[in-house]
Amino acid sequence: MRRDDFSQDVFTNINIPDEMLDDLVSDLKKGRRHADVRFRYSSAIMALIILGVVGLGSFGASAAYMTYKNRIRDMSEEEKADYAQELSNDEYNTSSEVRVRDLTQSEYERYLELEDAYYKDGVFPQNILKHVKTLDEIAPDELAFVEEINKINMPEGELTDEQLLQLIDHQAKYIYTLEQNAEKETVAAQSEDLSGEDDTEWPEDWDEPFMDDVIFEITPEEEAEAKKIAFDLLKDIYDETITDSWYCSVSGNDFSSFYDGDEAWIGYDVEIYESDAPNATTYQITIPRKASGIMMVNCCGRKYYSDLKEYTRQEAEAYVDEGKKAVCSFLKERFGLGEPDSYEISGFKNLEDEDITSSEIYFHLNYDGEDISVDWNINSKQITGFAGRGLLAKMTNP
């Protein structure tokens, strides 16, 4: 499954204007091209992205984290030029597409362990990944980025830890280059906006909404309460204890104007992640301002996605009964809900209605006219996301 392929049913459920959807997909593809497991686009996380979970904050930064930052910032001019060239040639959406072969399961498991050590503990490769113009410059089995094929050439045999660290280092530097380029484009766009009038053509019924009107300031008390609810939720459901070493941000978002003033769409978005590693454990949670509002939770990272195996819809159907049983048990235990009136599954089509593979089954359940979405991972057998109206009230007042 390509990491930025989306399920059509997700957007049917969320029911956002087409114009906003087009802009979101475009921006997400530009800003999240790398294969970041934290941004798998399940039904819950897409709703969170729509609600504006974009701010990143922190409790603090470790010395190792600063070492990793210093390493990529201190690239030589030659390295910077190599990555700038790679970015200009980029036509892919995931890092797996940039390699001539996928990682094996054992390589992937070691990759995740080493990636964590790279970002958190400053464990770096002895050498940087080689960049060459043509395949003739390297041995057929040599690890290197080759400009003429715009891919990383890889040995057929199992990669060593040093080679895996070179891939991790390469991705970190590429992401840094992408972010720097995006920052320059943002500054340039802002300069253009200041130099002329805004000619954006909004749909007639939008009344020119701006993100500045959507994101509202929150008080320290609101921030503390949102964090407490989120932390307690994670401890209760996922047995995850959030400490001061984790990064956390809280923002207030009011999308009620898009939904006829429905205050269920006013809430606090809490993003919590363990480290800067792309596969770090990450939670994205929407806490509704009113308990009867829409609550959403999404879990990402190697703790929840440590298996590469993905499935076609036909293959996944063999797991639907098991998944439905797990989902209904979860909803009954946590929110007192019984058997749904109806349900359907999705997750195996992209926006172009093309078949894709996935390790997730997205269950869309209806209870007396109210829809609840729950994401279930076939490999880990875990609930990795859920979203619905009134869930906080049901959880806190059983």
The pLDDT value given to residue 232? 95
Tell me, yes or no, whether 163 lies in a domain.
yes
Cα–Cα distances (Å) from 106 to 59, 113, 166, 313, in that order, read 34, 11, 17, 25
Give me the domain span that covers residue 354.
8-60+216-396
How many residues does this entry show for the chain? 398
Q: Are residues 242 and 337 in the same domain?
A: yes
pLDDT at 346 over 80: yes
**pLDDT attached to residue 61:** 45
- Rounded Cα gap, residues 80 and 68, in angstroms: 16
Same domain, 82 and 121: yes
User: What is the pLDDT of the chain when averaged over all its residues?
Assistant: 80
- Asked if residue 204 is part of any domain, the answer here is no
In a domain, 28, yes or no: yes
Q: Identify the burial level of 329 via C-beta atoms within 10 angstroms of its C-beta, where 0-12 means exposed, 13-18 middle and 19 or more buried.
A: exposed
Residue bearing the bigger pLDDT, 26 or 204: 204
Last residue of one domain, picked from the residues 127, 161, 178:
178
Q: Is 210 part of any domain?
A: no
Report the SS3 class of residue 339: coil
For 28-41, give the secondary structure using H, E and C.
HHHHCCCCCHHHCC
Same domain? 167 vs 296:
no
For 193, the 3-state DSSP assignment is helix
Q: Is residue 143 part of a domain?
A: yes
73 shares a domain with 155: yes
Percent of the chain with pLDDT over 70: 75
Could you read off the pLDDT of 183-235 as tens digits, one per residue?
A: 777 777 666 655 555 555 555 555 544 555 688 999 999 999 999 999 999 99
363 and 390 inside one domain: yes
Closest of 333, 310, 397, 391 to residue 47, by C-alpha: 391
Confidence at residue 308, expressed as pLDDT on a 0 to 100 scale:
82
| Cβ(314)–Cβ(329) below 8 Å | no
- Residues 352-386 pLDDT 10s: 888 899 999 999 999 999 999 999 999 999 999 99
Single out the residue in 149, 178, 207 at which a domain terminates.
178
Residue 326, domain member (yes or no): yes
> Do residues 1 and 94 lie in contact, with contact meaning Cβ atoms separated by under 8 Å?
no
Domain count, the chain: 2
Q: Are residues 231 and 276 in the same domain?
A: yes
Q: Do 269 and 136 fall within a single domain?
A: no
The answer to whether residues 387 and 292 belong to one domain is yes
The pLDDT, as a whole number, for residue 10 is 33
Same domain, 296 and 341: yes
Query: Tens of pLDDT along 322-337?
Result: 999 999 999 999 999 9
**Would you say residue 349 lies in a domain?**
yes
pLDDT for res 94: 55
Q: What is the pLDDT, as a whole number, of residue 384?
A: 95
- Number of other residues whose CB lies within 10 A of the CB of residue 368: 7
Same domain, 93 and 239: no
Q: pLDDT tens, 82-134?
A: 888 888 777 655 555 688 898 998 998 899 899 989 988 899 999 999 999 99
pLDDT digits (tens, 9 = 90+) for 130-158: 999 999 999 989 999 999 988 999 999 99
* pLDDT tier, 25 (very low <50, low <70, confident <90, very high otherwise): very low
How much is the pLDDT for 276?
82
Q: Which two tokens stand for residue 356?
A: 């894709």
**Alpha-helical runs (H) found in the chain:** 8-14, 18-31, 43-50, 63-73, 77-89, 105-121, 161-195, 211-214, 220-238, 313-316, 320-335, 391-396
Examine the domain organization and report whether 285 and 159 are in the same domain.
no
Residue 311 pLDDT exceeds 90:
yes
CA–CA separation, 287 and 115 (whole Å):
31
Cα(44)–Cα(295) distance, rounded to whole angstroms?
A: 9
Q: What local confidence, expressed as pLDDT, does residue 314 receive?
A: 96
Query: Is 375 contained in some domain?
Result: yes
> Are residue 168 and residue 225 in the same domain, yes or no?
no
* pLDDT value for 198: 55
The answer to whether the beta carbons of residues 132 and 144 sit under 8 Å apart is yes
Task: Quote the tokens at residue 351.
Answer: 């926006």
> What digits encode the pLDDT tens for the residues 42-68?
334 333 333 333 333 333 445 665 688
